[in-house]
Amino acid sequence: MPPLTPEQLAHFNHYGFVAVEDVLDPDTVIDPVIDEYAGVLDNLADKLLAEGKISSKHEELEFGDRVTQIYADSGEVHNKYFDFTLSVANVTPDTPFWVGPAVFNALTAPTLLDAVESLIGPEIYSNPVQHVRIKVPEKDAPRDDEGNVIYGAAPWHQDAGVVNPEADDTHLITVWFPLSDTDEQNGCLQVVPGSHRSEGVLTHCPGGKDVQGNLLIPESEFEVGKAVAVPLKKGDALFFSKYTVHSSFPNNSDRIRWSFDLRYHPVGQPTGRSFLPGFVARSRSNPESELHDATRWRGMWEQARASLAESNEPIFYRWDGSEAVCA
């Protein structure tokens, strides 16, 4: 696709976000990711069956229904098997993650990078704070001992709030796109227009039971009444500032909500999680520095896992809940 239009750039600058149609080709970028994850799910089903956690691999079901049924049968969320990052807690030498070539191809898709270049310039670094999020319908979702959905709606937050203060001056943007159509019913994002013009990072508080301990911004700290939903079709993408306040709706549908959220910033700026590996996705000034080898990328994550398994947990949350607005 061509770079973002002047109108799209003006919308991003004024409102802190812009939704763009047809950023990623479903046939050549998204469908290969879906096929790749079908293999990941096969391996997970084999493992859970061998451990006696499920009694059927549900091979007759398509991916969304199959992952929903396997999560329900096992009573557990297994998203770490699909995610292309590592948590910062309890990493072991065999903590699962997935960094396959189709995922790498999506992170480095030229059409996506063209749009990113419009926002941050031609020297583009792929930030390691990135996720695939598979949210099964809440009616079927595993729950904790108190009946709370284990992996449900995301609370109000800014993406600047989940990285170290070292990245406070980094020009970080988020690219969020679904692998299948998403709307309010199955848990699309909602954003607060203009919230990126707040005074930097708002205070995030440890969440309540409904958000499984995630950090959240109290609604007293922003104009929650201005929030707008951003439904997207497969192939579309949402771009937003690291200061844009956003959350997701719960998945009240009969289908999964399946999405990528990626982050990019100019080469040379701090990532906010220096213990995880990023890479140069595009460099007009030094093309030789770009990473094009998915196998090498996987090796970088394997090395990071080994290092984290041997070290103390890195600390990156800047709040502990003692702040006045968290009372």
User: Residue 223: inside a domain, yes or no?
Assistant: yes
Q: What is the CATH number of the domain that holds 204?
A: 2.60.120.620
263 - beta bridge partners? Answer: 127, 174
Q: What is the pLDDT of residue 267?
A: 98
Q: What is the pLDDT of residue 162?
A: 86
Q: What is the pLDDT of residue 253?
A: 97
At 237-281, the pLDDT tens digits run 999 999 999 999 999 999 999 999 999 999 999 999 999 999 999
Residue with tokens 């598979």: 134
User: Residue 65: inside a domain, yes or no?
Assistant: no
Q: What is the pLDDT of residue 119?
A: 97
**% residues pLDDT > 90 (the chain):** 81
Residue 143 to residues 69, 77, 126, 262, 268, Cα–Cα distance (Å): 14, 9, 34, 27, 42
Q: What is the pLDDT of residue 39?
A: 97
Rg, Å, the chain Cα set: 19
Task: Report the amino acid identity of residue 285.
Answer: S
User: Residue 30: inside a domain, yes or no?
Assistant: no
Q: What is the pLDDT of residue 209?
A: 45
Question: What is the total count of domains within the chain?
Answer: 1
Neighbours of 162 (CB within 10 A): 21
Would you say the pTM of this structure is higher than 0.85? yes
User: Residue 166: inside a domain, yes or no?
Assistant: yes
Contact predicate 263/127, CB 8 Å: yes
User: Residue 307: inside a domain, yes or no?
Assistant: no
User: Residue 195: inside a domain, yes or no?
Assistant: yes
User: Residue 261: inside a domain, yes or no?
Assistant: yes
At 27-37, the pLDDT tens digits run 999 999 999 99
Residue-range definition of the domain harbouring residue 140 = 6-23+100-300+315-326
> What residues of the chain score a pLDDT lower than 70?
1-2, 208-213, 312-316
Contact predicate 167/228, CB 8 Å: no
User: Residue 254: inside a domain, yes or no?
Assistant: yes
